[in-house]
Amino acid sequence: MSKTYSIAVIPGDGTGPEVVAEGIKVLNAISAKAGFKLALKYYDFGGERYLRTGEVLPDSAVSDLRKHDAIFLGAIGHPDVKPGILEKGILLRLRFELDQYINLRPVKLYPGVDCPLKGKGPADIDFVVVRENTEGIYAGAGGVLKKGTPDEVAVQESINTRKGVERCIRYAFEYCKKRNKDMKLTLCGKTNVLTFAFDLWERTFYEVAKEYPDVKVDYAHVDAITMWFVKNPEWFDVIVTDNMFGDIITDLGAMIQGGMGIAAGGNINPEGVSMFEPIGGSAPKYKGKNMINPLAAICAAGLMLEHLEETESGKAIEKSVMKITEKEIKSLAAGQMGHTTSEVGDLVVKNL
């Protein structure tokens, strides 16, 4: 009997539904070839639903989502909803409540993709950022006093627990081993200023490193790493860092791999339900125009299959995407691909 994976699909806002449709198209094609099945269940969480019902996430959402093998998410964010409501109420809430403590962000320049770095090509840009995804400044610890007065005080603290830091670092070592590329793991921190938080990170990093003698370890301050991403991206194999730094450096990573049109990520709970998404956002101005690039969502679908241990199928999706970037599309930018959104999905299917 063939295996069936239960997938929760959250198309979300803006161009989310269009890119998710292409991701599903590719998933259906590869599953038919590889002989596994997908049982899809759609959820309408997002800005439209919030504006219609006033509810960001129904109470049942988290327990419903927990029942699936994985979650495939389009984009969250709506021009008519104040920033923060949907991001915190949907995306961050799911990351926290489903304890998706890893944010995995491959940064890989595919052939044919324009790179803004002079003289750098696909051989130079191929690394993965392992971002802690449930703690740090994102934990929401802190508060405000005397709001709106001249004496206002705002405190937003970074929470770093030994358990949270250690499980993230362990995941990164394991990932580095499994990836088996340069066998090098870099801790990205700020030990020269954040002498409490990154002291914990640094001590934990070197303690855990003793269990992985085959992995070379390195350290870089976060400000320096932004320089090296631009000047020497080939130095990196796997990078592990906290939530906030990871958020920032992965956007820089997305730009050096060709932009948001190609960047995908996974919110991973190795023991639970993980969620895969293109990281580009909802791009409302392109909504419904069949112009947006679906490759990031298709890559996210590939990451999801790799996570579900349909490794060959996941890799096949990536290979097909690489053929498209190399030969078929003119640019990754919306409206400049030389093809519509759905045509790009068809091309990926054809090249599988």
The binding site for ligand IPM (CB under 6 A) comprises 87, 91-92, 247, 279
What number of residues does the chain have?
Answer: 352
Q: Minimum Å distance from CB 164 to ligand IPM?
A: 16
Residue 227 to residue 220: CA distance in whole angstroms: 10
- Which residues is 71 bridged to in the sheet? 8, 275
Q: Does 13 interact with Mn ion (rule: CB under 5 A)? A: no
Structure token pair of residue 75: 């984009």
Structure token pair of residue 238: 């796997």
Q: Minimum Å distance from CB 265 to Mn ion?
A: 9
Q: Which residue is nearest to Mn ion (CB)?
A: 247
From the list Mn ion, ligand IPM, none, which binds 237 (C-beta under 5 to 8 Å, kind-based)?
Answer: none
Q: Minimum Å distance from CB 84 to ligand IPM?
A: 8
Q: Which stretch binds Mn ion (CB under 5 A): 158-166, 182-190, 210-218, 245-253?
A: 245-253
Report whether 293 contacts 344 (CB < 8 A): yes
Q: Does 310 interact with Mn ion (rule: CB under 5 A)? A: no
Residue 92 to residue 346: CA distance in whole angstroms: 32
Q: Does 306 interact with Mn ion (rule: CB under 5 A)? A: no
Q: Which stretch binds Mn ion (CB under 5 A): 71-79, 102-110, 154-162, 240-248?
A: 240-248
Q: Which stretch binds Mn ion (CB under 5 A): 101-109, 194-202, 242-250, 316-324?
A: 242-250
Q: Which residues lie below 8 Å from residue 37, measured CB to CB, with a gap of 6+?
A: 2, 3, 4, 5, 31
Q: Minimum Å distance from CB 247 to Mn ion?
A: 4
Q: Are strands 126-132 and 102-108 parallel, antiparallel or unpaired?
A: antiparallel
In the set 126, 132, 135, 247, which binds Mn ion (CB under 5 A)? 247
Q: Minimum Å distance from CB 32 to ligand IPM?
A: 31
Name the residue nearer to Mn ion (CB basis): 21 or 85.
85
From the list ligand IPM, Mn ion, none, which binds 91 (C-beta under 5 to 8 Å, kind-based)?
Answer: ligand IPM
Structure token pair of residue 179: 């990836």
Q: Minimum Å distance from CB 105 to ligand IPM?
A: 8
Q: Does 277 interact with Mn ion (rule: CB under 5 A)? A: no
Q: Are strands 216-221 and 184-189 parallel, antiparallel or unpaired?
A: parallel
Name the residue nearer to ligand IPM (CB basis): 169 or 279.
279
Phi/psi of residue 167, nearest 5 degrees: -65, -30
Report whether 176 contacts 106 (CB < 8 A): no
Residue 34 to residue 352: CA distance in whole angstroms: 11
Report whether 225 contacts 190 (CB < 8 A): no
Q: Which residues lie below 8 Å from residue 266, measured CB to CB, with a gap of 6+?
A: 102, 103, 104, 274, 275, 276, 277, 300, 303, 304, 307
Q: Minimum Å distance from CB 103 to Mn ion?
A: 9
From the list Mn ion, ligand IPM, none, which binds 87 (C-beta under 5 to 8 Å, kind-based)?
Answer: ligand IPM
Name the residue nearer to ligand IPM (CB basis): 41 or 88.
88
Name the residue nearer to Mn ion (CB basis): 22 or 247.
247
Name the residue nearer to ligand IPM (CB basis): 130 or 349.
130
User: CA 319, 321, 326 angle in degrees (round to 5)?
Assistant: 95
From the list ligand IPM, Mn ion, none, which binds 92 (C-beta under 5 to 8 Å, kind-based)?
Answer: ligand IPM
Greatest C-alpha distance within the chain: 68
Q: Which residues lie below 8 Å from residue 271, measured CB to CB, with a gap of 6+?
A: none
Name the residue nearer to Mn ion (CB basis): 5 or 101.
101
Name the residue nearer to ligand IPM (CB basis): 237 or 247.
247
- Which residues is 41 bridged to in the sheet? 8
- Residues near Mn ion (CB under 5 A): 247
